[in-house]
């Protein structure tokens, strides 16, 4: 039985797929195929690929090319074809854990003794240009049974050097679900596009593991964008997602001054944040957003229902709505460390961090513009002027994605 393995060779402006066929006894045959054509041309040659490889390739590429998700425009369609070929041919390693196979960071070349030594600035620049994320993710310290709320999870995806490469003024942590690829892609092409904005910010998605989905897709998405954090906890654990992000900022992204946490169904006004940072002096230990004193919801039909047995008190500590809250990065490590002592009395992320802030003796600061009213496309220009964040309405993933894209297009015309 033939076993298929693959090597991805990155060249200048193209990708080459080299298929190596190995039998149990010896190399049966070797076929190389350079994928340098546009998607339509490549699709026409799938029949030849089948013939060369002696395999039957499932022909559901149409969904990849026609139904968004991985594709939008020629470049994304190109990536979509590559993704589909990899998925169909099963050439991505089938491991129990998501693994990375990037090349090790390129080391700066040794200086020859020519009498013209490079300056330290030139060497540092070369190192920065070659700075890539490691192929093996770091091991984090674990906590013993004496810790009330330990965060003992292993990294599955971690762009360790992202902030070193991008040097942002502030970092945006976006809580997402593994299945929400379409929303993440829409965010990358709209408000979080670094091509349209100044390079003052970086976006990172916070994702848990959904074991109903094939691990290959999220891994391939990470390999394209290097903007996803994932640890080995279940995807529904929203509190753990944010704690993962805070620990990552404290350890791998301490350079930015500010940290914004939001969700993948939220539009973020990057320009308004930039103006706010330039025109305001923000003190240390700042934590703000649309902050309120909430009361336990005893309505059994409510999403935020909690029984008196679970939480008998009449109110929660002040907290900021989870659609968007801003903090200075000096708080990231403090909140993470204090969370180890605070067992979540509720499952709601925003309310939980109100308890942690209370334990730290810190106060929230309500700021106008966060969670800016009801979503209406007709108010797009008002959002551009006044909103920091606005939650996107929609009955399902596709409608939210469409509304986000339409909102972005309208705001560009304001």
User: Taking Cα atoms as reference points, which of 156, 263, 149, 249 lies closest to residue 210?
Assistant: 156
Distance CA 327, CA 286 (A): 5
Q: Which two tokens stand for residue 341?
A: 């002592």
Structural domain boundaries in the chain: 3-89, 155-412
Q: Which two tokens stand for residue 7?
A: 């090597």
Q: Given this model, what pLDDT does residue 55 score? A: 42
- From residue 111, alpha-carbon distances to 99, 127, 129 in Å are 34, 13, 17
Q: Which two tokens stand for residue 252?
A: 């791998």
Which pTM does this prediction carry?
0.71
Question: What is the number of alpha carbons within 13 Å of residue 67 lying toward its C-beta?
Answer: 7
Average pLDDT over all residues of the chain: 77
Distance CA 185, CA 192 (A): 10
Asked: is 155-412 a CATH 3.90.550.50 domain? The reply is yes
The CB density around residue 348, as the number of other CB atoms within 10 Å, is 20
Q: Given this model, what pLDDT does residue 131 score? A: 74
Q: Given this model, what pLDDT does residue 125 score? A: 53
Question: What is the number of alpha carbons within 13 Å of residue 301 lying toward its C-beta?
Answer: 0
Q: Given this model, what pLDDT does residue 17 score? A: 33
User: Taking Cα atoms as reference points, which of 369, 392, 376 lies closest to residue 271?
Assistant: 369
> In a structure prediction context, what are the per-residue pLDDT tens digits for the chain, which is 414 residues long?
333 333 333 333 333 332 322 222 222 222 223 333 344 444 445 455 444 444 444 433 333 333 444 334 444 444 444 444 444 433 333 333 344 333 333 344 443 444 444 455 554 554 445 577 766 788 888 888 899 999 999 999 999 999 999 999 999 999 999 999 999 999 999 999 977 556 789 999 999 999 999 999 999 999 999 999 999 999 999 999 999 999 999 999 999 999 999 999 999 999 999 999 999 889 899 999 999 999 999 999 998 899 999 999 999 999 999 999 999 999 999 999 999 999 999 999 999 999 999 999 999 999 999 999 889 999 999 999 999 999 999 999 999 999 999 999 999 999
pLDDT in tens, 304-346: 899 999 999 999 999 999 999 999 999 999 999 999 999 999 9
Buried b (16+ CB within 10 A) or exposed e, 270-307: bebbbebbeeeeeeeebbbbbbbebebeeeeeeeeebe
Instruction: Annotate the chain with three-state secondary structure.
Output: CCEEEEEEEECCCCEEEEEEEECCCCEEEEEEEEECCCHHHHHHCHHHHHHHHCCCCCCCHHHHHHCCCCCCCHHHHHHHHHHHHHHHHCCCCCCCCCCCCCCCCCCCCCCCCCCCCCCHHHHHHHHHHCCCCCCCCCCCCCCCCCCCCCCCCCEEECCCCHHHHHCCCEEEEEECCCCCHHHHHHHHHCCCCCCCCCCCEEEEEEEEECCCCCHHHHHHHHHHHCCEEEEEEECCCHHHHHHHHHHHHHHHCCCCCEEEEEECCEEECHHHHHHHHHHCCCCCCCEEEEEECCCCECCCCCCCECCCCCCCCCCCCCEEEEEEEEEECHHHHHHHHHHCCCCCCCCCHHHHHHHHHHHHCCCCEECCCCCCCCCCHHHHHHHHHHCCEEECCCCCHHHHHHHHHHHHHHHHCC
The CB density around residue 13, as the number of other CB atoms within 10 Å, is 6
């Amino acid at each position: 039985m033939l076993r298929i393995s693959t090597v991805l060779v990155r060249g200048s402006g193209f990708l080459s797929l080299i298929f190596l066929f190995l039998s149990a006894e010896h190399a049966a045959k070797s076929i190389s195929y350079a994928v340098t054509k546009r998607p339509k041309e490549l699709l026409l040659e799938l029949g030849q690929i089948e013939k060369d490889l002696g395999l039957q390739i499932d022909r559901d590429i149409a969904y990849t090319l026609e139904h968004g998700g991985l594709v939008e425009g020629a470049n994304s369609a190109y990536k979509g074809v590559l993704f589909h070929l990899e998925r169909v041919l099963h050439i991505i390693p089938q491991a129990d854990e998501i693994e990375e196979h990037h090349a090790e960071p390129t080391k700066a070349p040794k200086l020859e003794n020519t009498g013209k030594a490079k300056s330290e600035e030139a060497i540092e620049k070369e190192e920065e240009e070659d700075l890539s994320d490691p192929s093996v993710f770091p091991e984090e310290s674990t906590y013993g049974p004496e810790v009330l709320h330990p965060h003992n999870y292993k990294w599955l995806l971690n762009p360790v050097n992202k902030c070193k490469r991008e040097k942002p003024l502030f970092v945006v942590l976006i809580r997402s679900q593994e299945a929400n690829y379409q929303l993440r892609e829409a965010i990358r092409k709209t408000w979080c596009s670094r091509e349209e904005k100044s390079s003052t910010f970086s976006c990172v998605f916070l994702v848990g593991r959904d074991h109903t989905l094939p691990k290959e897709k999220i891994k391939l998405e990470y390999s394209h964008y290097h903007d996803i954090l994932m640890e080995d906890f279940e995807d529904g654990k929203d509190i753990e997602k944010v704690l993962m992000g805070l620990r990552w900022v404290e350890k791998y992204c301490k350079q930015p001054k500010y940290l914004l946490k939001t969700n993948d169904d939220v539009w973020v006004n990057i320009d308004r944040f930039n103006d706010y940072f330039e025109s305001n002096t923000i003190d240390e230990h700042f934590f703000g957003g649309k902050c309120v004193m909430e009361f336990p919801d005893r309505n059994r039909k409510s999403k935020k229902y909690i029984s008196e047995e679970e939480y008998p008190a009449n109110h929660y500590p002040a907290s900021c709505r989870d659609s968007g809250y801003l903090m200075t990065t000096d708080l990231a490590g403090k909140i993470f460390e204090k969370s180890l002592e605070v067992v979540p009395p509720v499952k709601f992320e925003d309310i939980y961090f109100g308890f942690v802030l209370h334990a730290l003796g810190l106060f929230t600061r309500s700021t106008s513009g966060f969670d800016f009213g009801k979503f209406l496309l007709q108010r797009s220009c008002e959002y551009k002027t006044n909103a920091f964040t606005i939650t996107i309405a929609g009955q399902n993933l596709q409608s939210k994605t469409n509304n986000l894209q339409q909102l972005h297009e309208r705001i560009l015309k304001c």
